[in-house]
């Protein structure tokens, strides 16, 4: 009983341990006498110890059941908390993905619009360059009459001193 009491001291009240220990026969004369009353006393003492042990085991079983119920409740609460946090995290992640997708779409639209403007600008420059050159060429070309009656164009930068 002392070994049991030392192992489960937290679940068994101290008064019960002391009462159980006090009920045990400690008189060597009673333990060593061979009379029938001594055996009856030993059996009665053993029966009392067994009753106390049953009561203590019942209390221990109740404590274990209470702890088990408490742990089940805590585990259930923890599972619910984790599930709700995962749901919140998933919703926030979906919001971020949607926001990033919208930003990328806007960037892509702006990029494509800017590329369209750049291509149009290059096309204008590409077309206007030769047109401008032709226009400038025709504006700077001067037609002078020659002595033989033919007209000859004078190119810019050419010398007209021989005429």
Render pLDDT for 31-69 as a digit per residue (tens, 0 to 9).
Answer: 455 566 789 889 999 999 999 999 999 999 999 999 999
Residue given tokens 């585990």 in the structure block: 75
Cα–Cα–Cα angle for 48, 53, 42, nearest 5°?
30
Q: Is the pLDDT of residue 120 over 60?
A: yes
Q: Rounded mean pLDDT of the chain?
A: 76
Tokens of 131: 């047109």
What is the chain's percent helix, strand, coil content, to nearest 5? 75, 5, 20
Quick one: three-class SS letters along 74-140?
Answer: HHHHHHHHHHHHHHHHHHHHHHHHHHHHHHHHHHHHHHHHHHHHHHHHHHHHHHHHHHHHHHHHHHH
Describe the crossing of helices 36-140 and 14-23 by its angle, rounded to 10 degrees. Answer: 150
What's the confidence (pLDDT) of residue 99? Answer: 93
Per-residue confidence at 151, pLDDT binned at 50, 70, 90?
low
Helices and strands (DSSP H and E) totals, the chain? 4, 2
Residue 78 near residue 29, CB atoms below 8 Å: no
Length of the chain: 163
Residue 154 near residue 160, CB atoms below 8 Å: yes
Positive or negative CA dihedral for 139, 141, 147, 149? negative
Q: What predicted TM-score, i.e. pTM, was given to this entire model?
A: 0.38
């Amino acid at each position: 009983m002392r070994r049991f009491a030392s192992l489960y001291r937290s679940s068994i009240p101290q008064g019960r341990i002391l009462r159980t220990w006090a009920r045990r026969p400690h008189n060597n004369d009673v333990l060593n006498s061979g009379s029938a009353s001594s055996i009856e006393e030993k059996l009665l003492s053993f029966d009392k110890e067994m009753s106390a042990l049953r009561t203590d085991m019942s209390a221990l079983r109740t404590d274990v059941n209470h702890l088990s119920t408490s742990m089940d409740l805590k585990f259930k609460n923890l599972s619910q908390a984790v599930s709700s946090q995962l749901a919140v995290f998933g919703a926030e992640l979906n919001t971020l993905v949607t926001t990033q997708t919208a930003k990328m779409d806007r960037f892509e639209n702006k990029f494509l619009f800017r590329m369209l403007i750049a291509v149009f600008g290059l096309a204008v420059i590409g077309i206007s360059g030769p047109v401008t050159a032709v226009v400038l060429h025709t504006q700077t070309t001067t037609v002078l009459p020659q002595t033989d009656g033919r007209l000859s164009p004078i190119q810019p930068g050419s010398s007209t001193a021989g005429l």
